[in-house]
Amino acid sequence: MSETVTPPSVPDVQPEKRSRGGSALFIGVLALAGLALLAVFYYGVLNPSSQQIRSGAAPDFEITTFDGETIRLSDFRGMPVVVNFWASWCVTCRDEQPILEDAWRRYKGRVMFIGLDYLDQEPNALAYLEEFDVTYPNGPDKGSRAYAAFNVQGVPETFFIDAEGNVQGFHVGPITYQQLEERIQALLSESGS
Amino acid sequence: MADLGYIALLLAMVASAYGVVTSLIGGIRRDELLALSGRNALYAAAGLVTIATVALWYLLIANDFSIDYVASHSERALPLFYRFSALWGGQAGSLLLWGFMLAIYGAVMVSFIWRKEPRRGPYIVAILLAVQFFFLALNVFAANPFDRLWVLPDGSTTGAMFRPEGAALFVPADGSGLNPLLQNYWMVGHPVFLLLGYVGLTLPMAWAVASLISGQLDDGWAKSVRVWVMVPWIFLSIGILMGSQWAYMELGWGGFWAWDPVENASFIPWLTATALIHSIIIQQQRGMLKVWNVVLAFLSFWLVIIGTFITRSGIIDSVHAFALSEVGPLFLGFIIFTFFGFLALVWWRLPDLESDTELDSMLSRESAFLFVNVLFIVAAFVTLFGTIFPIISEAVTGDKIAVGPPWFNKVDGPIFLAILFLMAVGPLLGWRRTSPEMLKRNLAFPVAFAIAIFTLLLMMVTRRWVPLVSWAVSALVVGAIIWEFYRGARSRRKATGESWLTALARVMARNQRRYGGYIVHLGIVFIAVAATTTTSFQHNLKASLQIDESASLAGYTFTFIGLDQEPGPNHTSMVANVLVTKGNETVGVLRPRMNFYSAISGRDQGPTTEVGLHTNLREDVYIVFNGWESNGQLGAFEFFVNPMMLWMWLGGIVLVIGATFALWPIPKSAARRVRAPVVAQPAS
Amino acid sequence: MQRILFAVLISLLLIAPVAAQSDDPYEQLLKELWCPLCNGIRLDVCEQQVCEQMRDLIRQELDAGKTPEEIKAEFVDLYGPVVLGEPPREGFNLLAWVIPVILVVAGLAAAVVLTRRWSAQTAEDEPMAGAVAARAPDIEIDEEDEYLARVEREVNEL
């Protein structure tokens, strides 16, 4: 392109310097607001909500089971714990429920099982537990507090906690017999050593 | 073709970088040749990005599944139309479209202003190209739409531009299809308009920053920037309304706005852009609010980037789930960089940004503008605050608290009502000062009108004060607008003796911005009234109906008459036929449907619903089909009657008409004709 | 007049819209509760199975004689404040309610202070400086266009 531009000779705009008056205050307030915003984003990026607890100490929780017993996760320190999040309205939870109950009966005394009922109603939950003849402790996760603490992404989801109370891993979606066996063996071998 | 696209991207990146440097140096040294070279780099980059975009379109339309993006956003059975729109069906494509739009916007604007803006021009080019560079870099380094599919030695597949160690090219037999939620005509237009709005807000920012760098902070920039704010603003408004229309038609919950983070992300920059449109008028008329305008222009752009960051980085949950990706941190870096860069620039130029004039009176149009500006900004920040409050509460208390529609309605609602109120009073105030007597005289008609409407509604419709107050304030605005049109036409008629119609047309044509603005206000009133009315007086009913069984709601009777199965190109629709009657009159057969998309690998989205809708000015009859049992003998429905919903979309059309009228270039000759003191010509 | 306008403005700000109303306590309660799984979907229009079960529970408990307030409290306990769709007005979450009010008040106060100060300054500077006088009155027409300026001036001096 051979186009040339002939700018009209604009005199340099040089207004006499004045002091930074009230505008400075305005800019200052704005800068503070912006910094606060950036801090929030920075925190958000460092703590992505979309990831389950993968390792480290498992968040403790206390529930009142449907049998009226109050239990805490930390009560079972010294024994591996399988924590399962479920709900009566959850269709795929039904696939894994018999598998979990079966494993509980076989490993009773060596591995603890706790079921946390997510966003549910007592009558529906009781009917569900009865249907699958579930015998390990189950209780409502009130206010979805444990669900939030573990950063669960959806039911069913199962967390595996070793004897020291650390999260060893988790499984998203319905678990199969094989997968559950492997996880439990891993929990037992670790606490045995 | 993929290579061509990729090379074009790379070259565009080089051209952008080159253009930034030459434009800056050219601007600072007043070197015309360098500046010209920078401008030409912008044109070159625009051409190259266009080539890349066309290349991706070609690959999508040809269904070239060797390309990762095509394989994961298209399929053989996808209709041509949606293959075309698949360009913005995924992140890499959306980012490319962003760059493409910016290139076109930039080239058009620069070609218009280059001769008129010898000082600012090079800086504008530099800013545009810097933003362009950022988006191209995202495409090249983080989300490349031209990645090929490879199969790795361990059997897994991956997308990459260049051959990973030991990998072989992989071409799947079919693609995994476009997200079914995006296969809807509203969803084809909505992202395009929204993006045109978002991207366009780069333009006023470029003007503001260029003015800061060059030190030309007189009112000229406020005058020149107007059209480059208005155009993106119109697109953004259309985009937001189309998005709510999509939510209304597809999500099937009878509402149009859920204060979801993605929705808020589009609304917040709209608020600040609207504030900017109003405050540049004050600077133009009165030389005030210079800092404010520069800040607003930057803020609108910054909030667009922030909105994109919030919704794409996964820091907030949203129903409009976007894929999480690595672009989040890059956006955050860009946000931080632009923030400090701008702050430093404003601080440096602050002494030049003092107002020319001072305010004359509290009771003046500029003070009304000032207040409405403050309210817009407060609304923007409050909405942003509510959107990110879950992160704040999680950081402090460990609990991610939900901030939903009730909070936003309670907090934003009163602010909007106050804005509506100023919308009525502001235009009746004169610049500089208005005597209370004159205000009283001008308010007489609007107030009488509002009281009349209020009384009428109180007696005939409802006693609930929320809709009543909102309607009364809306009526006040309408009254003020009518009064403004009337007194404009009257004074012209008095001076020229023209007929009412001619006088009105002429006075409007000579004060396009003013009357265009009033028409936009009218559109906003439509939207406000529709939103209040439909949320306050919505009727809904869930029912499962046997064939020939009926349910009734708000005077309508709904009879389920049977289920049809209809094949589509890549889905099967189950369509329920529902006969709708009102009293003895037949309204018609509405056909809400569920679409089941053919096995799409790796996606179990479930069916999408499309509502059955009968609409008129009074109310919408809206049916959602939720499922069936017993071989189609039993259908599950939710029926809604949504009053005045149509007014929302009409309001959108009025708004666009008004804004376009305000901008439309009426030829100079027409203006000159008016100047001759001829008496009444017939309106034509 | 200024005071009255301002008072009207403030009183408008105090008005808070409420949700749609219904005579049936069941319908009414459904309109005040929100799906805990979805973003911004009311319980009465939610299609999730969990909402279906929540609606059933509400129906049963209303039939059993519980008041809507009791049910609401129970739901908050059971499902968390998410069912209210808004942060509870207590503890840290009170901030979600206080900060918007502070922002509105601070913004308006700043605007009032600014207009006051500016108008006070101009009152001292009277008669107006050339910069102001040179500006065209309330119009956007070309400044040389005397004809319409006159028409427009008449409009302003009604």
Q: What would the pLDDT profile of B573-612 be if each residue is shown by its tens digit?
A: 999 999 999 988 999 999 999 988 875 544 456 788 899 9
Same domain, A28 and A90: no
Same domain, A71 and A31: no
Contact of A117 with chain C, judged by CB distance below 8 Å, is answered with no
| Listed residue (C115, C112, C113) closest to C7, CA to CA | C112
The residue that leads in pLDDT, C139 or B162, is B162
Distance separating alpha carbons of residues B251 and B243, to the nearest angstrom: 11
Residue B259 has pLDDT above 80, yes or no: yes
Distance separating alpha carbons of residues A171 and A169, to the nearest angstrom: 7
Looking up residue A147, the CATH number of its domain turns out to be 3.40.30.10
CB contact under 8 A, C100 and B382: yes
- Taking chain B, what is the end-to-end CA distance rounded to the nearest angstrom? 54
Residue B168 has pLDDT above 60, yes or no: yes
- pLDDT level of residue B105 (50, 70, 90 thresholds): very high
Which residues, 6+ apart, have CB-to-CB distance to B92 below 8 Å?
B69, B139, B143, B144, B145, B147
Within 8 A of C76 by CB-CB distance, chain A residues are 143
- pLDDT level of residue B147 (50, 70, 90 thresholds): very high
CB contact under 8 A, C110 and B374: yes
| Listed residue (B562, B595, B596) closest to B576, CA to CA | B562
CB contact under 8 A, C12 and B406: no
Query: Which of A6, A30, A49 is the last residue before a domain boundary?
Result: A49
Tell me which chain C residue has its CA closest to the CA of residue A153. Answer: C37
DSSP for A9-39? -PPP--PPP----HHHHHHHHHHHHHHHHHH
- Does A6 map to a domain? no
Same domain, A127 and A89: yes
Distance from CA of C45 to the nearest CA of B (A): 5
Q: What is the mean pLDDT of chain B?
A: 88
The residue that leads in pLDDT, C124 or B197, is B197
- pLDDT tens-digit readout, B78-87: 899 899 999 9
Within 8 A of C140 by CB-CB distance, chain B residues are 284, 511-514
Q: Mean of the pLDDT values across residues B64-90? A: 91
DSSP for B228-266? HHHHHHHHHHHHHHHHHHHIIIII-SS-S----HHHHHH
- pLDDT tens-digit readout, A73-106: 999 988 999 999 999 988 889 999 999 999 999 9
Phi and psi dihedrals of B565, rounded to 5?
A: -110, 125
| Listed residue (C101, C74, C105) closest to C89, CA to CA | C101
Within 8 A of C15 by CB-CB distance, chain B residues are 413-414, 417, 465-466, 469
Contact of A143 with chain C, judged by CB distance below 8 Å, is answered with yes
Question: Chains that contact B by 3+ CB pairs under 8 Å?
Answer: A, C
Q: So what's the pLDDT on residue B215?
A: 87
Q: Quote the crossing angle between the two packed helices B290-312 and B365-397, to the nearest 10°.
A: 30
CB contact under 8 A, C104 and B415: yes
Same domain, A159 and A178: yes
- Which two structure tokens, joined as six digits, stand for B176? 């995994």
Q: Mean of the pLDDT values across residues A36-50? A: 79
- Does A84 map to a domain? yes
Beta-ladder partners of A112: A81
Residue B7 has pLDDT above 80, yes or no: yes
Q: Is C133 exposed, middle or buried (0-12, 13-18, 19+ CB in 10 A)?
A: exposed
Same domain, A29 and A109: no
Residue B647 has pLDDT above 80, yes or no: yes
- pLDDT tens-digit readout, A142-181: 888 898 888 888 889 999 999 989 999 899 889 999 999 9
Same domain, A67 and A31: no
Q: Mean of the pLDDT values across residues B119-145? A: 94
Q: Which residues of C touch A (CB under 8 A)?
A: 36-37, 48-50, 52-54, 56-57, 60, 76-82, 114, 117
Distance separating alpha carbons of residues A82 and A71, to the nearest angstrom: 14
- Which two structure tokens, joined as six digits, stand for B677? 């003191």
Nearest to A7 among B118, B315, B394 (CB): B118
Task: Work out how many domains chain A is built from and give that number.
Answer: 2
| Listed residue (B235, B232, B238, B257) closest to B247, CA to CA | B257
CB contact under 8 A, A4 and B32: yes
Same domain, A117 and A135: yes
Q: So what's the pLDDT on residue B314?
A: 64
Residue B397 has pLDDT above 90, yes or no: no
- Which two structure tokens, joined as six digits, stand for B472? 């009364």
Q: Give this complex's ipTM.
A: 0.85
Please give the order of strands across the beta sheet that includes A112-117. Answer: A138-140, A112-117, A81-86, A157-161, A167-172
Distance from CA of A91 to the nearest CA of C (A): 10
Nearest to A23 among B215, B353, B395 (CB): B353
DSSP for B505-539? HHHHHHTHHHHHHHHHHHHHHHHHHHHHHHHHS-E
Interstrand relation of A138-140 and A112-117 (parallel, antiparallel or unpaired): parallel
Preceding amide of B390 cis, omega within 30: no
Q: So what's the pLDDT on residue B227?
A: 92
- pLDDT level of residue B359 (50, 70, 90 thresholds): low
- Does A5 map to a domain? no
CB contact under 8 A, A148 and B400: yes
Which residues, 6+ apart, have CB-to-CB distance to A94 below 8 Å?
A132
Distance from CA of A184 to the nearest CA of C (A): 31
CB contact under 8 A, B354 and A18: yes
Residue of C34, C49, C50, C118 best to disrupt the A interface, most CBs of A under 10 A: C50
The amino acid at B447: V
- Does A8 map to a domain? no
Contact of B430 with chain A, judged by CB distance below 8 Å, is answered with no
CB contact under 8 A, A87 and C79: no
- pLDDT level of residue B400 (50, 70, 90 thresholds): confident
DSSP state at residue A72: E
CB contact under 8 A, B328 and A3: no
Tell me which chain C residue has its CA closest to the CA of residue A139. Answer: C78
- pLDDT tens-digit readout, B313-349: 666 655 444 445 677 788 889 999 999 999 999 988 8
Distance from CA of A146 to the nearest CA of C (A): 11
Residue of B271, B358, B437 best to disrupt the C interface, most CBs of C under 10 A: B358
Distance from CA of B320 to the nearest CA of A (A): 15
Distance separating alpha carbons of residues B125 and A8, to the nearest angstrom: 19
CB contact under 8 A, B216 and A13: yes
Same domain, A31 and A114: no
Beta-ladder partners of B157: B151
Q: How far is CA B248 from CA B258, B608, B648, in A?
A: 10, 13, 12
- pLDDT level of residue B239 (50, 70, 90 thresholds): very high
Domain with A67, as residue range(s), is 52-191
Nearest to C37 among A88, A119, A121 (CB): A119
The amino acid at B333: G
Nearest to B492 among C17, C39, C151 (CB): C151
Beta-ladder partners of A86: A117
Residue A10 has pLDDT above 70, yes or no: no
Residue of A2, A5, A60, A141 best to disrupt the B interface, most CBs of B under 10 A: A5
CB contact under 8 A, A40 and B391: yes
DSSP for B123-146? HHHHHHHHHHHHHHHIIIII--TT
Distance separating alpha carbons of residues A94 and A156, to the nearest angstrom: 9
Distance separating alpha carbons of residues B527 and B256, to the nearest angstrom: 12
Same domain, A74 and A31: no
Residue of B219, B382, B510, B623 best to disrupt the C interface, most CBs of C under 10 A: B510
Residue A14 has pLDDT above 80, yes or no: no
- Which two structure tokens, joined as six digits, stand for B363? 């009771």
Q: How many Cβ atoms are within 10 Å of B531's Cβ, its own excluded?
A: 22
Total number of residues shown for chain C: 158
Q: How many Cβ atoms are within 10 Å of A138's Cβ, its own excluded?
A: 21
Size of interface B-C (CB pairs under 8 A): 225
Residue A51 has pLDDT above 60, yes or no: yes
Q: So what's the pLDDT on residue A149?
A: 86
- Does A161 map to a domain? yes
Q: So what's the pLDDT on residue B619?
A: 93
**Is B638 in a helix, a strand, or coil?**
strand
Q: Mean of the pLDDT values across residues B166-183? A: 85
Within 8 A of B217 by CB-CB distance, chain A residues are 13
| Listed residue (B224, B196, B385, B595) closest to C104, CA to CA | B385
Q: So what's the pLDDT on residue B616?
A: 92
Q: How far is CA B615 from CA A66, B77, B635, B649, in A?
A: 50, 33, 23, 11
Helix then strand then coil, in percent of chain B rounded to 5, is: 65, 15, 25
Beta-ladder partners of B169: B150
Q: How many Cβ atoms are within 10 Å of B648's Cβ, its own excluded?
A: 25
Q: Mean of the pLDDT values across residues B297-309? A: 93
Residue B423 has pLDDT above 80, yes or no: yes
Tell me which chain B residue has its CA closest to the CA of residue A47. Answer: B315
Same domain, A162 and A106: yes
Q: So what's the pLDDT on residue B453?
A: 92
Nearest to A45 among B295, B315, B394 (CB): B315
Residue of C79, C99, C115 best to disrupt the A interface, most CBs of A under 10 A: C79
Distance separating alpha carbons of residues B317 and B262, to the nearest angstrom: 10
- Does A153 map to a domain? yes
Same domain, A125 and A183: yes
Residue of A121, A142, A144, A153 best to disrupt the C interface, most CBs of C under 10 A: A121
- pLDDT tens-digit readout, B427-451: 888 776 667 777 888 889 999 999 9
Distance from CA of A30 to the nearest CA of C (A): 12
**Is B111 in a helix, a strand, or coil?**
helix
CB contact under 8 A, B402 and C151: no
Distance separating alpha carbons of residues A191 and A10, to the nearest angstrom: 81
* Residues of chain C scoring pLDDT < 50: 9, 12-20, 125-148, 154, 157-158
Nearest to B401 among C2, C93, C129 (CB): C93
Tell me which chain B residue has its CA closest to the CA of residue C155. Answer: B491
Distance separating alpha carbons of residues B309 and A37, to the nearest angstrom: 12
- Does A11 map to a domain? no
CB contact under 8 A, B487 and C158: yes
- Does A9 map to a domain? no
Q: So what's the pLDDT on residue C39?
A: 74
- Which two structure tokens, joined as six digits, stand for B370? 């000032």
> Contacts for A28-37 with beta carbons within 8 Å, 24 or more apart?
A30/B295, A31/B343, A33/B381, A34/B339, A34/B343, A37/B306, A37/B384, A37/B388
Tell me which chain A residue has its CA closest to the CA of residue C35. Answer: A119
Nearest to A144 among C54, C80, C114 (CB): C80
Which residues, 6+ apart, have CB-to-CB distance to C77 below 8 Å?
A142, A143
Q: Quote the crossing angle between the two packed helices B290-312 and B220-246, to the nearest 10°.
A: 30
The mean-pLDDT minimum among B131-140, B181-190, B592-601 falls in B592-601
Distance separating alpha carbons of residues B364 and B105, to the nearest angstrom: 37
Contact of B399 with chain A, judged by CB distance below 8 Å, is answered with yes
Q: What is the mean pLDDT of chain A?
A: 83
CB contact under 8 A, A38 and B335: yes
Same domain, A26 and A73: no
H helix intervals, chain C:
2-13, 25-32, 49-63, 68-79, 95-125, 130-134, 146-156
Q: Does residue B404 contact residue C86 with C-beta atoms inside 8 Å?
A: yes
Contact of B350 with chain A, judged by CB distance below 8 Å, is answered with yes
Tell me which chain B residue has its CA closest to the CA of residue C156. Answer: B430
- Which two structure tokens, joined as six digits, stand for A81? 């714990």
Q: Mean of the pLDDT values across residues B166-178? A: 87
DSSP state at residue A111: S
CB contact under 8 A, C135 and B286: yes
